[in-house]
Homo-oligomer: A and B are copies of this chain.
Amino acid sequence: MNTTKQKIASDLDRQFAEQGFAEQGVEALRAGADVSLRTLYKHFPSREAMVVGALEHRDKAYFDWLAGGPENGIDHVLYPIIRLGDWLSEVANTGCLFLNALAEHPDSIAIREIVTDHKARLADEFRIRLRAIAPDRDVEQLAETLFLLHEGMTQTARLHGRDRATAAALRAAKAALAAEGIA
């Protein structure tokens, strides 16, 4: 079964989030996941694979976390931003795991790919939600704006605190929607 693999991936995710990527060697990761080195390498045959595994785990966890929420109205569109506020209070607040990984491994194709995919999917999420409440509009620019607010909020939460960052992102999102006559 890959139950063990998933458990390890979850531990890797948490460890990379809390301690960063560079400051932890494979031995520290092994200890944090509480498995043997052999088992760790069986599931993730290189350190890079461990990073990819952690990112894949978080990608899934993040979109699972987004399930549910209001089905109509402006809150349907704002929900990912609202939910991000909750997320930031539950996990270690060290910015975006994906962008942090990319910062440390700018040359890794596998990592670049998963980061790009995750962010594209997030941008799509806003597009889909906007189309749901404004089917007759071109929502492309608004989707980009909401995506930008989401990213900015993630980074700003590290520096100004989660609540202020959430409030600022929601304020700006509502203003952007209002300026386009949506809401």
Q: How many copies does the complex hold?
A: 2
Residue from B21, B107, B150, B151 in contact with A104 in the complex, judged by beta carbons closer than 8 Å: B21
Cβ A144 vs Cβ B168 within 8 A:
yes
Against B, the Cβ 8 Å flags (1 = close, 0 = not) of A71-107 are 0000000000000000000000011100110111111
Q: How many residues of A contact B (CB 8 A)?
A: 48
Given A22-B22, A103-B20; A171-B152 close (CB under 8 Å): no
Nearest CB in chain B: distance from A16 CB, A: 10
Cβ B168 vs Cβ A172 within 8 A:
no
Kindly list chain B residues whose C-beta atoms are within 8 Å of the C-beta of A144. 156, 160, 164-165, 167-168
| Measured CA separation A145–B172 after assembly (Å) | 7
Kindly list chain B residues whose C-beta atoms are within 8 Å of the C-beta of A152. 148-153, 155-156
A141 within 8 A of B: yes
Kindly list chain B residues whose C-beta atoms are within 8 Å of the C-beta of A95. 99, 102-103
Cβ B149 vs Cβ A172 within 8 A:
yes
Kindly list chain B residues whose C-beta atoms are within 8 Å of the C-beta of A172. 145, 148-149, 172, 175-176
Cβ A96 vs Cβ B168 within 8 A:
no
Nearest CB in chain B: distance from A176 CB, A: 5
Cβ B96 vs Cβ A155 within 8 A:
yes
Which residues of A does B touch, CB under 8 Å?
Answer: 19-23, 94-96, 99-100, 102-107, 116, 119-120, 123, 141, 144-145, 147-156, 158-160, 164-165, 167-169, 171-172, 174-176, 178-179
